[in-house]
Amino acid sequence: MKIDLATDLMQRFTESLLKIRLEGARTTKRYFKHWAESDLGSGIAYIEFDGELPTRQVEKYGDRWFSSIKRSHPEIGPGLIESTLSESGLEPQHEIAQAEFEEVWNEALKHVQ
């Protein structure tokens, strides 16, 4: 009887841990692309959000790249927008695939000085 109870408790514990890990592995990340304006002129911005919070950002103006690796850029200001996803004004038509964002992010990293 004690062995069955211990086995049952261990199985429940293992199932609970697995559930926690699977739920933690789910991502709430979303990716967006939109036109941007700065003192450098027109450009394009790519932003990653985790839930409501911006986590990474890339902006490109001509051949100049900026990323959120730096907190701020003298030419364009903060490296990461200061608004939540719902405050950002981004709409579903601005959403892009993770692969597109990662490609741009990796390209931007090649140009970081």
* Whole-structure pTM value: 0.73
What does each C-alpha distance from 92 to 39, 84, 105 come to in angstroms? Answer: 27, 15, 21
**Confidence band for 16, pLDDT divided at 50, 70 and 90:** low
Measuring CA to CA, how many Å separate 79 from each of 13, 51, 97, 105, 110?
A: 43, 19, 21, 13, 16
Instruction: Provide the 8-state DSSP code for 94.
Output: G
Instruction: Render pLDDT for 34-70 as a digit per residue (tens, 0 to 9).
Output: 999 888 899 999 999 999 999 999 999 999 998 888 8
More confident: 17 or 109: 109
Alpha helices in the chain (DSSP H): 2-25, 85-88, 98-110
